Amino acid sequence: MGAAVVRDGTIVWRGSVGYRDVEHRQNVDRGTVFRLASVSKAITATAAAKLMEQGALDVDAPVQAMLPWLDVRWAPLTPRQLAAHTSGLPHYQPVDDARGGVHYAKVRDAVAVFRDRELLSSPGTRYSYSSWGYTLLSAVIEARVGIPFLDFLASRVTQGLAIGPDATDTGNPSAARAYEFVDGKAVPAAPHDYSYTWAGGGLGATPEALARFGGRLMAGDVVAPATFEWMLRPTRLNSGSAAAERDYEVGFGWRVQRDADGDRIAHHAGVTSGARSALVLWPDRKLGVSLLSNAMWVSSIEQTSMLLAAPFKPVAEIPERKPCPFTASRYEGQFNGRTFVGTARFSVEGGLCTGVLSLPAEPLGAWLNKFPQKDASTLRIIGIDPRGSLSRAVLVTPIGLHELRTEGRRGYVARLATSQAVSLRFVSGINPDPEPPVESKGDMAGLRPPHA
């Protein structure tokens, strides 16, 4: 996987780990191109918003009037509804299981795949995620500009950036191979043609190019700042309520919510065969992060992305600075109402407080190791306070990075999922094999969070 952080339009950090080609032991590097999956939707929505600000697209006019060839029985639906997933169009259905085995030369040909399907709901009445909706939105864009959708993106939206149609299995030496996990091992994913939805999940990019796109967007270099702000306003259903899913509201192609510090974020994530992706922006701070993987299963990817950017995002001063617990030799934890204990060891690496915790099989180990990745027997803690304290930290687990926040005077808590959290308390004692708290320049395993 690879990641990049952009601040004020400049790439301030980039990192990579693992292989772009497992069989040939070729490492991921800054030029590796990954599938973007549904992060493609954020780019497509931006293209539509650009046409709107130029007066070339009425986002509230019926799509049927813009596409005379679209002979359908649907109630009138609009580009705004397509971008916000409120059009009523279905997502992929069982009949679409073989969709990646056909190449569509024209977007219009891809629309023919679903044009006879029934709407799941009346347009504007509820949120229902649909990649087919973005295929239709790209057809509208083509109709308004008179050139192929991909050409419009390259010339007017992502110009100069390494962003384009998926390059996997095309012979491009920079493209990452796509993998799936089978019994904890990475195996090549079957070839997949994304011409049925370039707009909804078929683009590819380097992590740096995707982060730069986010930086340009926040700087007003893709669409005007007022247009970007308009994109982040929650879409209203016919009832007047905001289109929403889980813990975020849905704007014009972007998901919008507040992070744990109360800052506004705009984001999108994606998952598809051989890929997991995320782009997270803090518009009010001109900060953004991209994280791309060439394996389908990478959990907690948005949270992991945000923590990679955390060292570049100042927060209010923490009232009580918690020192690195060098004397701790064990810890007590709680997960799902059950208590567990393990060993702990802390030191300083690269100026940051770091720790290694044993991972008991029950209850936390069993939950973390049930997912497709390799089982783990330890957890890592990496402080992100450059002063070496543990006031801000990251818990590194097999399923991603999780912010470790202080809880009371002695404890910490990390949210692992929407309804799952683990509490930790470090206990001082005699370490049977003590490590002095000295500076170390040893390599941190995996994608360690950067520090400014």
Residues 6+ apart with CB under 8 A from 123: 74, 75, 76, 77, 78, 81, 86, 87, 88
The whole-number pLDDT of residue 417 equals 82
**Residue 451 located in a structural domain:** no
One DSSP character per residue, 36-83 reads -GGGHHHHHHHHHHHHHHTTS--TTS-HHHH-TT----PPP--HHHHH
389 vs 34, residue with greater confidence? 34
- For residue 101, the enclosing domain spans 2-312
Q: Are residues 39 and 186 in the same domain?
A: yes
Domains: count for the chain: 2
pLDDT tops 70 at residue 318: no
Q: What is the mean pLDDT of residues 199-228?
A: 99
Q: Give a yes or no: residue 202 inside a domain.
A: yes
Asked whether residue 306 falls in the same domain as residue 333, the answer is no
pLDDT confidence band for 443 (50 / 70 / 90):
very low
Residues in the chain: 452
Return the C-alpha torsion angle 150, 156, 162, 164, nearest 10: -10
Do residue 183 and residue 269 come from a single domain? yes
Same domain as 357, residue 219: no
Per-residue model confidence (pLDDT) at position 321: 76
pLDDT tens by residue, 111-154: 999 999 999 999 999 999 999 999 999 999 999 999 999 999 99
Cross-strand partners of 309:
none
> For the purposes of burial, counting CB atoms within 10 Å of the CB of 333, is it exposed (0-12), middle (13-18) or buried (19 or more)?
buried
Q: How confident is the model at residue 252 (pLDDT cuts 50, 70, 90)?
A: very high
Does some domain include residue 445?
Answer: no
Residues 116 and 193 placed together within one structural domain of the fold: yes
**Is there a contact between 79 and 67 (Cβ–Cβ < 8 Å)?**
no
Does residue 55 come out as left (phi exceeding 0), alpha (psi in the -120 to 50 range) or beta? Answer: left
Domain shared by 130 and 174, yes or no: yes
Check residue 439 and give its pLDDT. 36
Last residue in a domain, options 277, 312, 347: 312
- DSSP-assigned letter for residue 388: S
Q: What does the pLDDT average to over 273-289?
A: 97
pLDDT at 431: 46
Cα atoms found within 13 Å of the Cα of residue 324, Cβ hemisphere only = 25
Same domain, 73 and 160: yes
Euclidean distance between CA atoms 272 and 436, whole angstroms = 45
- Cβ-based neighbour number of residue 13 at 10 Å: 19
Q: In the chain, pLDDT over 70 holds for what percent of residues?
A: 93
pLDDT at 391: 87
Question: What are the angstrom distances between the C-alpha of 95 and each of 88, 110, 117, 198?
Answer: 18, 14, 11, 19
Write down the mean pLDDT value for the chain: 92
pLDDT of 298 reads 65
- Determine the Cα–Cα distance for residues 149 and 142; give it in Å rounded to an integer: 5
Mind giving me the DSSP string for 243-291? PEETTEEE-SS-EEEE-TTS-EEEEEEEEETTEEEEEEEETTTTEEEEE
Please check whether residue 435 lies inside any domain of the structure.
no
Distance of CA 178 to the CA centre of its chain: 17
| 13 neighbors 289 (Cβ within 8 angstroms) | no
Burial classification of residue 437, based on how many CB atoms lie within 10 Å of its CB (0-12 exposed, 13-18 middle, 19 or more buried): middle
Say if residue 187 is exposed, middle or buried (CB neighbours under 10 Å; 0-12, 13-18, 19+).
exposed
pLDDT score of 160 more than 90: yes
On the question of pLDDT at 285 being above 80, the answer is yes
Residue 452 in domain: no
Q: Is residue 211 part of a domain?
A: yes
* Residue 14 sits in the same domain as residue 137: yes
Cβ atoms of 383 and 393 closer than 8 Å: yes
In angstroms, what CA-CA distances link 215 with 208, 223, 419? 10, 12, 32
Residues 248, 366, single domain; the answer is: no
CATH classification at residue 257: 3.40.710.10
Question: What pLDDT was estimated at residue 319?
Answer: 53
Q: For 326-348, what is each residue's pLDDT tens digit?
A: 999 999 999 999 999 999 999 99
On whether both 197 and 274 belong to a single domain, the answer is yes
Tell me whether residue 169 is exposed, middle or buried, using C-beta atoms within 10 angstroms of its C-beta: 0 to 12, 13 to 18, 19 or more.
middle
Q: What is the mean pLDDT of residues 196-216?
A: 99
Q: Residue for token digits 């993106």?
A: 153
> What is residue 320's predicted lDDT score, i.e. its pLDDT?
65
Question: Distance of CA 348 to CAs 307, 390, 441, Å?
Answer: 19, 11, 9
- Tell me, yes or no, whether 423 and 305 share the same domain: no
Domain boundary among 312, 344, 370: 312
φ, ψ of residue 333 in degrees (nearest 5): -135, 160
Within a domain: 191? yes
pLDDT tens per residue, range 406-442:
887 779 999 998 788 999 999 987 544 444 333 333 3
pLDDT digits (tens, 9 = 90+) for 40-61: 999 999 999 999 999 999 999 9
Answer yes or no: is 366 within a domain: yes
Q: Is the pLDDT of residue 446 over 80?
A: no
Q: Give the model's pLDDT for residue 322.
A: 87
Q: Are residues 333 and 245 part of one domain? A: no
pLDDT of residue 444: 30
